[in-house]
Amino acid sequence: MLVEKGEGYGIITLNRPKALNALNLQVLTDVTAAAAQLDADPEVSAIIITGADRAFAAGADIKEMQSLDFATAYKADWFAGWTRLSEVRVPIIAAVNGFALGGGCELAMMCDILVASTKAKFGQPEINLGVLPGMGGSQRLTRAIGKAKAMDLCLTGRMIGAEEAERSGLVARVVEHEQLLDEAKEIAATIASKSQIASAMVKEAIDVAFETTLEQGLRYERRLFHASLATNDQSEGMAAFVEKREPGFTHT
Ligand code: HXC
């Protein structure tokens, strides 16, 4: 795994190209620790996760899982460590450069904005291995693209390309392969130019939409909106609009 920092954001690159960036325990530990560290860095307002070479991630490491038995997996609550990524409060952008299969697709879906290159391929092929998704595929995919498509992908194990993924609502944008990282960096830099508090609140509010009733979600959003009125960034943002100038957010 590689970690770099840009202007206001961090980039985590999965880097096991010989195994198509398959997600083993080491990758889990490294990625979740790096994301937590970037999240705690006041200079970081967004994180990009991408993959080296021709894969984003071709799934959980099948060679590591091959001899995994029920008792070991259950006692260690195998894959639960990935929930640490969902605790990150700055927005995470998945820049999907190639295969995002099984755990790779699930990792992308743990991110907040999915941008795909024209070479991206998504799928939940666990059915071909005699198992089922174990890092959220049956849940997040269904919420993202609905029952019909989720059943189709999880039961047949077929892969879809970037265009079908965008049409299905799985990804926000598709760009030419060579433009992928620039596009992700531009999104990250745009987010970094806003108030960190407001963007964390946006992420929190949208995530709540998947956890609650509409009435409770609307109240939650309203309360967060009320709270945003207590920030210096709200005073600055609105003053800047009225004074016809760019805001200088201080993240306070
Ligand atoms: C371990 C993997 C891997 C994986 C690829 N490799 N995917 N190793 N775990 N998930 C390795 C291959 O073994 C091979 O290593 C090298 O990467 C290159 O892969 P090839 O298969 O030679 O490449 P290609 O022919 O281009 O095919 C690409 C592919 C194929 C279509 C992506 O690799 C593939 O089908 N991979 C498995 C995808 C998958 O089933 N993912 C879901 C995993 S289960 P060598 O050493 O031979 O060169 C999961 C969730 C589990 O994610 C949760 C429930 C338990």
Phi, psi of 238 (to 5 degrees): -75, -35
Q: Rounded CA gap, 86 and 135, in Å?
A: 12
Q: Is 122 helix (H, G, I), strand (E, B) or coil?
A: strand
Mean pLDDT, rounded, of the chain: 98
Query: In the structure, what pLDDT confidence band is assigned to residue 7 with cuts at 50, 70 and 90?
Result: very high
- The pLDDT, as a whole number, for residue 9 is 98
Q: Rounded to whole angstroms, how far apart are CA atoms 39 and 45?
A: 8
pTM of the model: 0.97
E strand residue ranges, the chain: 2-5, 9-14, 46-51, 55-57, 92-96, 99-101, 113-117, 121-123, 160-161, 173-175
Tell me, using a 6 A CB cutoff, whether residue 62 lines ligand 1: yes
**Residue 87 designated active-site:** no
Encode pLDDT of 196-245 as tens digits: 999 999 999 999 999 999 999 999 999 999 999 999 999 999 999 999 99
Residue from 51, 55, 106, 136 carrying the catalytic annotation = 106
Strands 113-117 and 2-5: unpaired
Span 5-30, mean pLDDT?
Answer: 97
How far is the centre of ligand 1, averaged over its atoms, from the C-alpha of 116 (Å)?
20
The single residue of 51, 98, 102, 103 carrying the catalytic annotation is: 103
pLDDT value, residue 153: 98
Mean pLDDT of 91-110: 98
Q: What sections of 158-195 are H helices per DSSP? A: 162-168, 180-192
H-helix segments, 41-112: 62-65, 70-75, 83-86, 103-110
What mean pLDDT is predicted for residues 1-21?
Answer: 97
Residue 225's pLDDT is 98
The single-letter DSSP state of residue 60 is B
Per residue in 122-179, pLDDT (tens digit) is 999 999 999 999 999 999 999 999 999 999 999 999 999 999 999 999 999 999 999 9
pLDDT of residue 46: 98
